[in-house]
Structure 1
């Protein structure tokens, strides 16, 4: 009887444990870009260098861990660094070419664990580039 109860508990617990918690799996010293709101779905992991220079990461060339292209598909982010991070969209001009980048969000230095979510805003699925500066 005990073996049957143990098996029933194992199977009933599996669906609850299969769900990823919000902002799950972002390592220390990484900036993670998430596919869905509240850090849900797949992610892109950016691991900054610590040389103190401004570095640009092209989301246009990145893919989520699930293989989907990440350009204009990011909804939320997590900064697990002490770097300043700026998030950009390349806004098209009326002529159809890409103009100056538009900063859509940022987090200052020394703000480890900062999060952002663009759900329900004009910036959802706009991200094309990330700058970070670590000191």
Structure 2
């Protein structure tokens, strides 16, 4: 008899939602992604919206393709150094030149200034 603890109950929905958010932020349709990963769009929809577990191969392909940090979902009580959003933003910043980065820097400075309490 198998004495392992099989009471594993992990909700995949938040990771599926992160995959969907990353896909849509890149302007990619589910059908386009389905062609890239060679899976049916309905299967991808079930992963994104219904929390269906993907195969390990597909899981790794999706999280690496979209730069998703799964630590924040697997270890929710542990402090995550960089969230998935931060990792995606870092990847996008890497493709910008200095002129484009100066626009981003000015925007961030404006946001930080807006957060400061008024005197």
TM-score, normalisation: structure 2: 0.24
Higher helix share: 2
TM-score, normalisation: structure 1: 0.22
Higher strand share: 1
